[in-house]
Structure 1
Amino acid sequence: MGDVWIRTADQGLIRAAKVTEIRTSRGSVHEETGYAVTVVAGGKAFHVIDNSELVGAQAERLDYARRLQDALLLAMDTAQGAEAPMVISYEKDREGWMLTPASDLARDFPPLSYAKD
């Protein structure tokens, strides 16, 4: 089995095996809109989703976020069964989690171009 990594909202990577908690809260910027999904690893909290755009009653927004929590847990379980290292990332456009082999991410990396003086 390969390692499983979770991409954070600020583009960091956390080893999924180190996650001890997945939590949901209201949006970090606005109380009346949005939600946040956070994972705790190594005693530190990391936002994996911070969406301040979702409108509706707080209970509805948190219920939506809890479903995303459940989907993240399922994605983690699915990725653990993969042969290759996997990266789990939230895709806002699809409103869901995407599992990508780490080798695909490295292969898609654009080449650097250096400015010449």
Structure 2
Amino acid sequence: EFYFYGKVTNAGGKDKANIHVFTEELGTVRIQTPISFLEQYDENLLYKTFGIRATGKQHSETGEIDTSTLRFIELVYYQPKYDEQYLKALRDKAKKSWLGSIDPDKWLNEIRGGYDA
């Protein structure tokens, strides 16, 4: 299962419908999509940024995605905006709940393990 985030550049097809998504990582990715989804979707998808959840095959050793096997699962609304207030609230919440009760350097050493030379 994969998530692709990017701009939809094409959607449709007579017999085998698909959505083309331009991603920064992989370029344009074509995802087989049910015609019924495209028929029922009210808004224009083109040139808008979305996330698309899809299934497909991936090479177990190299991690390379076989783009010819991608099948649409759902459209994910994606708002790529950085919200400083939201992130600050999350950091403050973390400080109160668990960061205040630990020594960050000691915790990081435990996570990383010792580096005895």
TM-score with structure 2 length normalisation? 0.28
Structure number with greater CO (CA < 8 Å, separation at least 6) is: 1
Bigger Rg, which one: 2
